[in-house]
């Protein structure tokens, strides 16, 4: 532990401003540093670098910290330092200036922390086939088992990430591509990502599958006849489509390509529909058998 | 537990195909179901719905399951059912057809599971200012404390989600917007998301800040003079920019707007640079004080 005296000596060399967003006036307070204030959990961490002098909590405070005594300053870490903007090249794929930054905490480390394996459960099917309902039931079932799951809902993403996209053909492809990329990031973070979107075309689904390691893309096909989806019509969209008020509606005047290689197929027929819980249990059972519910 | 006899009786009504992707031929096997085979961890789950008859593990197997006895079939869940494609409206923001799907597992539930609060640590600064290095050190420090963190690196996203974007002005804005949206999703999943990208403009950073609840967007400004970044020049990009081989490079012939309202400012000066560990500790200390390292 660096003595307070040393910390004070170092103040002239550099400072770190810890500013909360609300207030404009900075209040500078020096406090004695104690391990308990920082609450560092790892002994190795504590020994690796001297702790900063902690500032008093307030609307706007300034924290001064001491220089590291280990000597491994930023300037010695060349090659790790990132820059992402300011390059002229047109696409990352063609650019030598965009470097992949690896970090010592890997996917497997996060999986061990969570005691699960990050993966993508991709639920595809017609509007009204029960994708979101299954996603929610599965999310509940996984949470009840202490597993971290997160739903990427096609509709919800249209409010945020994909709000710039229309429903014309190329934008639908881009909508699915982006959700596939985000699902990949979530799986890489260790989360069991449940993606729920019509994704009517085999090519688009397969492109998302190809982003992930073998086995980690688990396609769930809601095999529900159009007639049954149309009977349900929970949002009244089929009615609008039949009335010609929505053009290019999947199943009505735009095709849905049933998946050829889904890991799980969930058929539902008129009068023979299982509960969302029962459907979720089938997916859960698959994940269990394939080892995704442990690290 | 539903008796095997009941399961068998129900086979005529519906079936669920559990297909692995590799094999083309389906092998149908009926096995007696046991709790231990599904390995359901939650008693409440087990009692809520009957368990499926589990199929034999194999290259391609078919699983038949029984109907739920709870009666809450999909058809009764209207209003929850999703559809995300097939609509004609041009943007989600203007469309009444795009519904936000809520799910009973909320952010706070995931945070309790993880014993942390999902948030975004947004590291901004010039190329060569040490953003990625800090991101990695912070990721290690958080992991060492048992916290789930994930780095969204601007460069790395250029290989995936943002591979379609160029470096012209509007695409740079879009690059940042998308990373902000993904960071929001990660934070919502409960993850401590560490976003590391130059993000030179106040407007763009503030737009990302606005996506998150108050306090959950924690801006970290790498306050490093251009001269020092250029001396480091870990990827040789400043040299290329000065030689005119890269146009519009931030800090050389494109502006960087220093943040006005960063929660944390980390100044580094020539000959007075702290270790990445020490810098990470400052951010960690901030997260600790603000309660992000507990649920």
3-class SS string, A123-151:
EECCCCCCHHHHHHHHHHHHHHCCCCEEE
Range of lowest pLDDT (A262-276, B32-46, B260-274): B32-46
Identify the top-confidence range among A20-24, B60-64, B89-93, B178-182: B178-182
- pLDDT band at residue A154, thresholds of 50, 70 and 90? confident
Chain B residue numbers touching A63 (CB-CB < 8 A): 282, 285
Are B154 and A267 inside 8 Å of each other by CB? no
Q: How far apart are CA B220 and CA B218, in angstroms?
A: 6
Q: State which residue of chain B sits closest to A148, comparing Cα positions.
A: B110
- pLDDT band at residue B43, thresholds of 50, 70 and 90? very low
Note the residue count of chain B: 295
Q: Which residues contact B214 (CB under 8 A, 6 or more apart)?
A: none
pLDDT, residue A148, reads 98
Are B16 and A266 inside 8 Å of each other by CB? yes
Chain A residue numbers touching B17 (CB-CB < 8 A): 264-265, 267
In degrees, rounded to 5, the angle at the alpha carbon of residue A207 between the alpha carbons of residues A235 and B26 is 85
**Does pLDDT of A165 surpass 90?**
yes
**Does pLDDT of B255 surpass 50?**
yes
Q: State which residue of chain A sits closest to B254, comparing Cα positions.
A: A86
Burial class for A29, CB neighbours closer than 10 Å (0-12, 13-18, 19+): middle
- Domain spans, chain B: 1-69, 107-289
Q: State which residue of chain B sits closest to A16, comparing Cα positions.
A: B266
A78 in catalytic set = no
Burial class for A31, CB neighbours closer than 10 Å (0-12, 13-18, 19+): middle
More reliable by pLDDT, A70 or B261? B261
Range of lowest pLDDT (A33-37, A99-103, B243-247): A33-37
Mean of pLDDT values over B110-134: 97
Q: What is the dihedral of CA B6, B9, B14, B17, to 10 degrees?
A: 80
pLDDT, residue A87, reads 29
pLDDT, residue B28, reads 26
Mean of pLDDT values over A249-255: 95
pLDDT, residue A100, reads 61
Question: Is there a contact between A124 and A205 (Cβ–Cβ < 8 Å)?
Answer: yes
Burial B153-180 (b: 16+ CB within 10 A, else e): bbbbbbbbbbeebbbeeeebbbbbbbbb
For A73, the closest of B51, B149, B273 (CB atoms) is: B273
- pLDDT band at residue A221, thresholds of 50, 70 and 90? very high
pLDDT, residue A90, reads 32
Range A107-289 classified under CATH 3.40.50.300: yes
Are A21 and B263 inside 8 Å of each other by CB? yes
Find residue A61's DSSP bridge partners.
A27
CA distances from B105 to A64, A140, A282, B4, B295 (A): 41, 6, 19, 32, 15
- pLDDT band at residue B155, thresholds of 50, 70 and 90? confident
Are B113 and A146 inside 8 Å of each other by CB? yes
Mean of pLDDT values over B250-254: 95
Helices (H), A2-58: 4-10, 35-38, 43-48
Burial A148-164 (b: 16+ CB within 10 A, else e): bbbbbbbbbbbbbbbee
- pLDDT band at residue A79, thresholds of 50, 70 and 90? very low
Q: What percent of chain A has pLDDT over 90?
A: 61
pLDDT, residue A134, reads 97
**Beta-strand (E) ranges in chain B?**
17-18, 27-28, 61-62, 119-124, 149-153, 192-196, 217-223, 264-267
Catalytic residue from among A127, A129, A139, A199: A199
Mean of pLDDT values over B121-126: 98
DSSP letter at B123 equals E
Mean of pLDDT values over A239-252: 95
For B288, the closest of A38, A72, A81 (CB atoms) is: A38
**Does pLDDT of B49 surpass 90?**
no
- pLDDT band at residue B22, thresholds of 50, 70 and 90? very low
Convert the pLDDT of each residue in A2-46 to its tens digit: 333 333 223 223 334 433 333 332 222 222 222 222 222 232 322
Chain B residue numbers touching A71 (CB-CB < 8 A): 275
- pLDDT band at residue B4, thresholds of 50, 70 and 90? very low
Structure tokens, A78:
């060349």
Q: State which residue of chain B sits closest to A39, comparing Cα positions.
A: B288
**Does pLDDT of B87 surpass 50?**
no
Chain B residue numbers touching A20 (CB-CB < 8 A): 263
Q: Which residues contact B88 (CB under 8 A, 6 or more apart)?
A: A167, A246, A247, A248, A249
Q: How far apart are CA B142 and CA B119, in angstroms?
A: 13
- pLDDT band at residue A155, thresholds of 50, 70 and 90? confident
Looking at every residue in chain A, the average pLDDT score rounds to 74
**Does pLDDT of A106 surpass 50?**
yes
Q: What percent of chain B has pLDDT over 90?
A: 61
| B contact test, residue of A16, A78, A81 with most B CBs within 10 A | A81
Q: Which residues contact A273 (CB under 8 A, 6 or more apart)?
A: B14, B73, B74, B75
In degrees, rounded to 5, the angle at the alpha carbon of residue A195 between the alpha carbons of residues A190 and A198 is 165
Mean of pLDDT values over B13-23: 36
Mean of pLDDT values over A124-152: 97
Q: How far apart are CA A194 and CA A131, in angstroms?
A: 10
pLDDT, residue A178, reads 97
Chain position carrying tokens 């490079």: B249
Q: What percent of chain A has pLDDT over 70?
A: 65
Angle at which helix B202-210 crosses helix B169-189, to 10 degrees, equals 30
More reliable by pLDDT, B87 or B150? B150
| A contact test, residue of B16, B56, B71, B82 with most A CBs within 10 A | B82
DSSP letter at B80 equals T
How do B61-62 and B27-28 pair as beta strands?
parallel
Are A188 and B150 inside 8 Å of each other by CB? yes
Q: How far apart are CA B74 and CA A273, in angstroms?
A: 6
ipTM of the complex model? 0.71
pLDDT, residue B69, reads 30
Convert the pLDDT of each residue in A43-72 to its tens digit: 232 232 233 323 223 333 323 232 333 322
For B113, the closest of A103, A131, A143 (CB atoms) is: A143
Mean of pLDDT values over B66-89: 29
């Amino acid at each position: 532990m660096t003595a307070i005296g040393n910390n004070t000596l170092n103040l002239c060399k550099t400072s770190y401003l810890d500013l909360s967003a609300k207030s404009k006036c900075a209040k500078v307070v020096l406090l004695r540093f104690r391990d308990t204030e920082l609450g560092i959990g790892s002994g190795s961490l504590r020994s690796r670098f001297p702790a900063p002098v902690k500032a008093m909590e307030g609307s706007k405070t300034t924290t001064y910290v001491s220089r590291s005594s280990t000597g491994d300053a930023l300037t010695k870490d060349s090659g790790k330092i990132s820059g992402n903007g300011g390059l002229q090249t047109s696409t990352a794929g063609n650019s030598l200036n965009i470097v992949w930054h690896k970090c010592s905490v890997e996917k497997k480390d996060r999986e061990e922390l969570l005691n699960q394996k990050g993966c993508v459960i991709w639920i595809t099917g017609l509007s009204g086939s029960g994708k979101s309902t299954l996603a929610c039931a599965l999310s509940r079932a996984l949470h009840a088992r202490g597993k971290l799951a997160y739903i990427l809902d096609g509709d919800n993403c249209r409010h945020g990430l994909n709000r710039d996209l229309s429903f014309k053909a190329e934008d639908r492809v881009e909508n699915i591509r982006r959700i596939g990329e985000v699902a990949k990031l979530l799986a890489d973070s260790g989360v069991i990502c449940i993606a729920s979107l019509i994704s009517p075309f085999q090519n688009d689904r397969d492109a998302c599958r190809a982003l992930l390691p073998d086995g980690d893309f688990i396609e769930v096909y809601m095999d529900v006849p159009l007639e049954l989806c149309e009977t349900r019509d929970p949002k009244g969209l089929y009615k609008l489509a039949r009335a010609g008020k929505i053009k290019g509606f999947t199943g009505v005047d735009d095709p849905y390509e049933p998946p050829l290689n889904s890991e799980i197929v969930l058929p539902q027929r008129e009068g023979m529909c299982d509960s969302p819980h029962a459907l979720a249990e089938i997916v859960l059972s698959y994940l269990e058998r394939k080892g995704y519910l442990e690290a």
